[in-house]
Amino acid sequence: MHFALLRRAGSALALAALAAGFTPAAVAQTYPDRPVKLVVPWPPGGATDALGRMLAQRLTERLGQTVIVDNKAGAGGNIGTAAFVREKADGYTLLVATSSTNAANPHLYSRLGFDPAKDFAPVAFVAEIPNILEVPKQSGFRSVADLIAAAKAEPGKLNYGSGGVGSSQHLAGSMFKHLTGVDVLHIPYKGSGPAVSDLMAGQVDMMLDTGSLAQVQAGALRALAVASRQRLPALPDVPTFAEAGVPGMYASAWYGIVAPAGTPEDVVQRLNKEVNAVVADPEMKRRMEGMGALVPAGQTPEAFGAFMQSEIARYADIVKMSGAKME
């Protein structure tokens, strides 16, 4: 008799819960109830890692659960990204997606291990770091117009450095050549660090780079233009390429947070809200701008997803004009 009453009472409670709009998932403890892993598909020390750690620290505070950075480097970011898409789509494993892994690499590599258009649930756009056209401090070039004029006067004489074939510096340099019609020689290095060192020494004439803002601010390099749609807060006196007479020269490394495809919509929306709040925080914004970043206003997951798809299409042309191909 008691069991029958309990069953009837339980049924009544379940019906009441459903009538009130609750589901078993909603009645359960809300997301997140355990630590969250943030995969960074690059080694420690670079811009992606720095941004990932900054985000992890602030998201830990906002989510009430530890967000752990997991560096999985290799193959231009492909190894960590391919491992990520095999994770459970529950919001407990996130990825710092970048323009390299999620836009350029699909056109550079014949084997990725993931589908850039289908394997990700976009969460939030974080920042972009534009390439800066730089020359040595001792260079006679004072403007983009000076450099273009010299390159056209003596085709093939000037050169530009990069972190290697298919690197962001290489692709940006190829775009510059295409848009201006200049003939400058590409010199690939094994990493951007050695390329920047030779640029400062005057052994390289120019470079388009996202990671040498400190050298520009210290006076070791001269910035001629930034490859973004607006000027950088960190370099307010340096014009955009459009302002310097080269419209269409847009080459930025961008960063965002994604979850595996199939992640519940309510989890994606919660994460979008929290990431946007972190990015909008004045101190966080100041730190990112200090890295040479442009920080956007909060975007919806849908807007970030549309941007990612447009970048996949845009990089098809960029990679094609560079002639770069990786195995």
pLDDT at 45: 87
Q: Which ranges in the chain are annotated with CATH 3.40.190.10?
A: 132-226
Token pair for 7: 């069953």
pLDDT at 69: 98
Across the beta sheet with 159-162, what order do the strands follow? 185-188, 159-162, 206-209, 132-136, 221-226
What are the average pLDDT values for consecutive 10-residue runs of the chain, which has 327 residues? 41 45 49 97 91 97 98 94 98 97 95 96 97 97 98 97 93 96 96 94 97 95 97 96 97 97 97 97 95 91 97 95 85
pLDDT at 325: 86
pLDDT at 22: 44
Kindly report the CATH number that applies to the domain delimited by 27-129+254-322: 3.40.190.150
Q: Which ranges in the chain are annotated with CATH 3.40.190.150?
A: 27-129+254-322
User: Minimal CA–CA distance to 37: which of 72, 67, 81?
Assistant: 67
Are 241 and 249 in contact by the 8 Å Cβ rule? The answer is yes
pLDDT one-digit tens code per residue, 44-57: 988 999 999 999 99
pLDDT at 5: 39
- CATH of range 132-226; options 3.30.300.30, 3.40.190.10, 3.20.20.450, 3.40.50.150: 3.40.190.10
Q: CA angle, corner 128, sides to 124 and 131, nearest 5?
A: 160
Q: Taking the model in full, what pTM does it have?
A: 0.87
pLDDT at 57: 98
